[in-house]
Every structure is written in structure tokens, then in C-alpha cells.
Amino acid sequence: MTTVTPDSFSSAPPEVVGLGPIAWAKKNLFSDWFNSLLTVVIVGIFSWGAIRLTSWALTTAQWQVIPNNFGLFMTGTFPSGLYPRIWALLAIICGLAGLSWGVLGRNVSTLFSRGVLIGLGLVCAFIVLFPPTRPSSLKLLPMVALVAIAAAAGRQAGRKFPGIGKWVSLAWFLSYFAALWLIGGGLGLTPVSTNDWGGLVLTLFTAVSGIALCFPLGLLLALGRRSALPVVRWLSTAYIELVRGVPLVALLFMGQVMIPLFLPIGSRPDRILRAIIALALFSAAYLAENVRAGLQAVPRGQNEAAMSLGLNTPTTLGLIVLPQALKIAIPAIVGQFISLFQDTTLLSIVGLAELLGIGRSILANPAYLGRYAEVYLFLAVIYWIFCYAMSLGSRKIEEKLNTNH
């Protein structure tokens, strides 16, 4: 690149206000001969690619594979007679999401701003117009309504009872067990073998379980590595460095084989549980490093001040150091959660039918021979939406917690 100026420099006050489209193009696309050449070449390549892609998507591609297997993509081989349970789970999550949104936004002047309304409208339009969801769209529309209603209710409740946030957190915690019950059955519901768990539901379940397990473990490891006690420090460091040196796929595969070997003869935990344990043990080592970076960024004076006030080590850590360290580490921690979510795809290698695994088994069906591009593009869109939503959420939390003025 000939002209390289870091963003911050060009963000100086604009010289010309209200650039016309031609002036804008002259400034941003054709400022000198090299830029003009670059622009022409890029536009050429991209329009060629766009034409090829559109013609492929409209003529060659056979999108039928997506709607025909939509249920498989979402829930795997989960018995279709029990789908109402998955819908109930989705309703719980939507209700809680709406409630949290309302409680968090209780001080915002209007919850349903124009942007949010447009977004909701787009979601509804997508649900109605997108063919694969058609049989289910009747049930998806009330879900959107549920989010909106719960948000309004949460806002009212949040204004009346300021302490409601804790209860919403508790509700999220309990919803995990509700999910386990609704998916797995038992206690009055028809049990569903874990062999029939699959699709997006399994991906989300393993990701959430992995995150819930790896966060406390990572925190402990980070504290251990920063500890003044040599034994604790050495053990934590050894664990972190050993795990970080091994590829996840090796850990997952061997986890499937070796976890039963480490337990008394004959005991064999469920393979989904084994996969979640391997995933959490792996991510905890990386998370520990992220938290450690946050801990290192907290000035030593904070620790000393707390000590001089007479706080002991646990209270100093819990009340003074950790809250600051975690705030600093949020982007890195969410980044680690995103990569844990992406790492769930590796479960397809050890034979679990999560989203990518179910995609591969659909592609193995002779009826859909060679539909690789269609299926993989569809999966890529799903993964992208979830990962992008997570990084967007992390940016929002960061803004909210940013107390620097």
C-alpha cells in the first residue's frame, strides 16, 4: 500500500463537510494513479466474482438440501414427536433474553428505538420470507413477540424493583438445568438418549456447558499462576503450559479414549460429558492466560492499599483486584468464549452430531451428493451470526463498564 495512515490520524476534524458522491469517490478511491489502478482492479475482480457467485447461487446450486433437512440441522436426530420440548426451551430462552434486555435497558429513554424496531421487522420479514423455516415460522413469530413483551415487562419490573438483576441471573442459571431436563428428559418426560442429541441444539449446549465450566477453572488457574505460594504457582504453570502445547483435537480424541481409562474399571461417562470435560479443560488454560493478563494490568498499589486497610487475601482478591482485572480482560475472555464456540466443531471429528457433524452426515447421504458448497455456506452463516453476536455483546459490555472519563 502506498498510503498508510493510521485511523486515529484521519479522524482529525473533517476539512470538507458534506462531500458529494463524486468528490467522495475522488478523495477515497481515485486520490492518485496507484489508488485509481487499485480501485479499478478490485472493482473488476469483485464484479466478476459477484456475477459468478450470483449465477451459481441462482442456477447451479440446489438449495433444496437446506429446507429438506432443516430439522436435522437444528436438533439432529432428536425424535420429532418431542419437538415441543425444544420449542418450550426456545420460549424460555427468548423470555429470559427479553427480560434481561428490559432490565438492563431500564434507564434508557426508549427501549424500542427506530433501529431496534427496524431490526425486529427485518427478523420477522426474514422468518416469513425465508423458505426453510416456513413450517415453523408460525411458531417463530410469537417468539419474537415474546422477546418484545418480556423486554417491556422487564423494564417495568426493573424500574420498580432495582434488585431484580440478581434474580434474572439466577433465572439464567436455573434455565441451564431446565434445558438439560427438556433435552434429556427424565423426571416425568420421555428420556432421550444422548446419541439423539444433535445439530445446533447440541452445539449450543456443549458451548454453554464448556463456558460455564472453563470460566471458574480458568480463574483459579490464573490466580494460582500469580500466587505467592510456590507450590500452587508451579502446579498451575505446569498445567497451563502443558495444555497449551497440545492441539485440541488430540485432547478431544484422547479424552474420548483416555478419560474412561483414568476412572475405576467399568465406569464410562457419557461421551458428550467427556467431550465437554476435554473442551473445558483445554479452554481453561487459555482463559487463565487472558485473566492473568488482566491481573497483571491492575496496579500493585490497589493490592497494597487493600492490604493496608486490613483486608485479607481472599477479600482483597474478590473485592478489589478481580473486579478490575476481569473488566480489563473482558475482550480477551469473550474472544476465548468465541473460540470455544468454534471449537465445538471439532466434536464432529470424535463422532458427535453437532452442527458441523450433522452437516457432514447429510452430505454423506447419496441424495445430497456433492452439495458441499450449499451446506457449508449455510453452516458458515449460522456460526458467523453467533460469533458476531458474541463479539458485539462484548463490545457493549465493555462500553457499559468503561468508567474512564
Which residues contact another protein (rule: CB under 8 A)?
Answer: 1-10, 28-29, 31, 35, 38-39, 42-43, 228-232, 235, 242, 244-250, 253-254, 257-258, 260-265, 312, 338, 342-343, 345-346, 348-349, 356, 360, 363, 372-373, 376-377, 379-380, 383-384, 387-388, 391
Give the C-alpha separation, 383 to 277, whole Å.
22
Task: Give min distance, CB of 88 to another protein, in A.
Answer: 29
**Which is closer to another protein, CB of 29 or CB of 171?**
29
Give the C-alpha separation, 144 to 148, whole Å.
6
**Which is closer to another protein, CB of 28 or CB of 193?**
28
Residue showing cell 426508549 = 110
Task: Give min distance, CB of 95 to another protein, in A.
Answer: 27
**Which is closer to another protein, CB of 264 or CB of 366?**
264
**Which is closer to another protein, CB of 51 or CB of 242?**
242
**What φ, ψ does residue 13 adopt, rounded to 5°?**
-50, 135
Give the CA distances from residue 211 to residues 101, 214, 221, 279, in Å, rounded to whole numbers and listed in that order: 21, 5, 15, 9
Give the C-alpha separation, 173 to 185, whole Å.
18
Produce one character per residue of 149-188: b if its CB has 16 or more CB atoms within 10 Å, e if not. bbbbebbebbeeeeebeeebeebeeebeeebeebbbbeee
**Which is closer to another protein, CB of 21 or CB of 81?**
21
Task: Give min distance, CB of 71 to another protein, in A.
Answer: 21
Instruction: List CB contacts of 339: < 8 A, sequence separation 6 or more.
Output: 283, 286
**Which is closer to another protein, CB of 29 or CB of 149?**
29
**Which is closer to another protein, CB of 46 or CB of 176?**
46
Task: Give min distance, CB of 123 to another protein, in A.
Answer: 19
Task: Give min distance, CB of 164 to another protein, in A.
Answer: 33
Task: Give min distance, CB of 249 to another protein, in A.
Answer: 5
**What φ, ψ does residue 189 adopt, rounded to 5°?**
-100, 155
Residue 361 exposure: Cα atoms within 13 Å on the Cβ side = 16
Instruction: List CB contacts of 356: < 8 A, sequence separation 6 or more.
Output: 345, 348, 379
In the 8-state DSSP scheme, what is residue 229? Answer: -
**Which is closer to another protein, CB of 89 or CB of 243?**
243
Give the CA distances from residue 145 to residues 41, 105, 109, 150, 178, in Å, rounded to whole numbers and listed in that order: 47, 18, 21, 8, 22
Give the C-alpha separation, 286 to 242, whole Å.
11
- Closest by CA to 75, choosing from 205, 177, 188, is 205
Task: Give min distance, CB of 279 to another protein, in A.
Answer: 13
Give the CA distances from residue 292 to residues 173, 205, 295, 324, 330, in Å, rounded to whole numbers and listed in that order: 26, 27, 5, 12, 12
**Which is closer to another protein, CB of 171 or CB of 293?**
293
- Closest by CA to 149, choosing from 225, 77, 69, 91, is 91
Task: Give min distance, CB of 191 to another protein, in A.
Answer: 29
**Which is closer to another protein, CB of 51 or CB of 373?**
373
**Which is closer to another protein, CB of 10 or CB of 107?**
10
Task: Give min distance, CB of 372 to another protein, in A.
Answer: 4
Identify whether the C-beta of residue 262 lies closer than 8 Å to the C-beta of residue 196.
no
Residue 152 exposure: Cα atoms within 13 Å on the Cβ side = 7
Task: Give min distance, CB of 105 to another protein, in A.
Answer: 25
Task: Give min distance, CB of 97 to another protein, in A.
Answer: 20
